[in-house]
Structure 1
Amino acid sequence: MEQNLNDKTACLVTAFQSGDVNAFSRLYDMHINLLFNYGCKLTTDKELLKDCIHDVFVKLYTKKAELGIIDNFKSYLLISLKNKLCDELRRRMFMSETAVEELNPVAGDDVEHKYLEKEKSCFENKKIKHLLAQLSPRQREALTLYYIEERKYEDICTIMDMNYQSVRNLMHRGITRLRELVG
Structure 2
Amino acid sequence: MLQYKILSDQELTSLLRVGDKYAYTEIYNRHKNLLQNHLYKKLGDLELVKDVLQDLFVKLWDQKSELPITDNLPGYLFSAARNRVFNHLSRQQVASKYISSLHTFINEDNYITDLAIREKEFAKIIRQEIEALPAKMREVFLLSRDGHFSHEEIAKQLGISPQTVSKQISNALKTLRLRLGVLFYFL
Quickly name the TM-score band, shorter chain normalised: 0.3 to 0.5
TM-score w.r.t. the length of structure 1 is 0.47
Richer in helix (by share): 2
Return the index of the structure with the highest Cα Rg. Answer: 2
